Amino acid sequence: MRRLFGSVRARATLGATLVVAVALVAAGASVLLSLRSDLIDRAGTQAERTARNVAAHLAAGTAYDDLKLDDEEEPVQVVDAHGTLVAASENLERISGTGTGEVKPAPQQGTGSGDEDDDSALEPGEIADEVAFSDGSATIDGESADYRFAALEVDVQDKGRLTVYAGASLDAEQGAVDTAQTVMLIGFPLLLGVVAAVTWLVTRRALRPVEGIRAEMAAITASEDLARRVPVPDTHDEVARLARTTNETLAALETSVERQRRFVADASHELRSPIASLRTQLEVAAAHPELLDVDGAVEDTVRLQRLAADLLLLARLDAGERRGDARVDLGELAVRCARGRDGVTVEAPAVEVTGSRGQLERVLGNLLDNAQRHARAAVAVTVRRDGGWAVVSVADDGSGVPAADRERVFERFVRLDEARARDDGGAGLGLAIARDVAVRHGGTLTVRDAPAGGALFELRLPVG
């Protein structure tokens, strides 16, 4: 049972059925109440009409015995000001809900006016405008039924104030209400069954693509094949958007995994070279101490240390290391990074940004290392403010970067000049680190041709 109602289709069907059931119950109750009220009002109107007819005869001076109450199909009583029944339908056997439960008129002792006890505002021969209604029952000719009674006052000359009670049967009201209830009790379950069946089928059809997506995702998980994609339904609804978003996520995940694989492979390759060189020198030194190349061993160790530091920084950046919120003067930082470098000129007024001083110093250092590696003679560093941006430009007078490779140079372990030795050209991580740090600081790092030839790397960061 828990598994059944754990499905979206079952919950949707149950929810829709419950909503329709509540709506049907509310609508049915409203219809029954409205129908009953309308039929009761009709019965009351009929009872009032009968009461006024009898009252008119009384006001005209008709004697009690001449009222011909048997002509009325409904029960009628006439009660005087003292509550005494003075006239009633001859076939009336029982009555309730009126002024008196008597069904046989009391013997008349005289024709007193009764004015001494009459506090009515009616004039002799006048019929009251207002009618009082009540519900009761009566038995006529052995048949009992519920009635709507109308009570109407009339002032009769020599008889005083009289009250006429006339009833109208509620059998029609009860029959109509019972019929409506029977129709609802039969029709509502059938309608709910139709609603549940239609909802079940519609949700099944609507969720079929979701099941296809789930099955394909399960297959991808089992096979670990990120090149596979989930089916996209030929619709323009939320399920189609979910499928497209899932495929975009799979594509991004595939790219990330492939990037990590290349990163691990390239890192292993880059680490293998200095480690192998260092091991060879140590083995030679162990066998022939006089042949130890101390400078070469130190150079390999430094290169290995820098490569390990680059890999560690990239790992921290990939793990989402926070950029920091320190105030950093890019002008002062540029001067500091350029100090002691041959052929580097700096034009750096004070421009402050917010971020990690260590990471930004690493960016400038990598840009200067790259520029010096490719420059023929000179490197120019410029710091300026451009609106809400701080701009650092590093230009060299080398051969520049081809337009087709201006994004590729920022990829990890990418070196455009593969013919050069790794010792001279580095591992190809400096620009990748610089781009990652720039992006994490809300900025950009791009490359274009320098005005005097060579490459111009431009770092743009939001002003703090």
SS3 77: strand
Give CA–CA dist 74/164, Å, rounded: 13
The structure tokens listed for 273 are 């070279």
pLDDT of residue 331: 92
pTM above 0.85, yes or no: no
| Range 326-462: architecture per CATH | 2-Layer Sandwich (3.30)
Give CA–CA dist 213/329, Å, rounded: 52
Q: How many CB atoms lie within 10 A of CB 138?
A: 25
- 454 Ramachandran zone, left/alpha/beta (phi>0; psi -120 to 50): left
Q: Give Cα separations from 180 to 30, 188, 195 (angstroms).
A: 12, 11, 21
Q: Which residues contact 315 (CB under 8 A, 6 or more apart)?
A: none
Give CA–CA dist 224/175, Å, rounded: 71
Domain boundaries, the chain: 1-225, 239-318, 326-462
Q: Which residues contact 188 (CB under 8 A, 6 or more apart)?
A: 21, 24, 25, 28
CA-CA-CA-CA torsion sign (180, 186, 188, 190): negative
Q: pLDDT tens digits, the chain, 464 residues: what are they?
A: 555 555 777 888 888 899 999 999 999 889 888 888 888 888 889 989 988 998 888 888 888 887 877 665 789 989 988 888 988 888 888 999 887 888 888 776 554 444 444 454 677 778 888 999 999 999 888 888 888 999 999 988 878 889 999 999 888 778 888 888 888 889 889 999 999 899 888 888 878 888 888 888 899 888 888 888 888 888 888 888 888 999 999 998 888 788 778 777 777 777 777 788 778 878 887 887 877 777 777 877 877 887 788 778 777 777 777 777 889 999 999 999 999 899 999 998 999 999 999 899 999 999 999 999 888 889 999 999 999 999 999 999 988 899 888 898 888 777 776 434 444 556 678 898 899 999 989 999 999 999 878 899 999 999 97
Give CA–CA dist 344/362, Å, rounded: 17
Do strands 379-386 and 344-347 pair parallel, antiparallel, or not at all (unpaired)?
A: parallel
Helices (H), 288-329: 294-318
Give CA–CA dist 434/441, Å, rounded: 11
Judging by beta carbons within 10 Å of its beta carbon (0-12, 13-18, 19+), is residue 386 exposed, middle or buried? exposed
Question: Which CATH number is 239-318's, of 1.10.287.130, 1.10.3720.10, 3.20.20.70, 3.40.50.2300?
Answer: 1.10.287.130
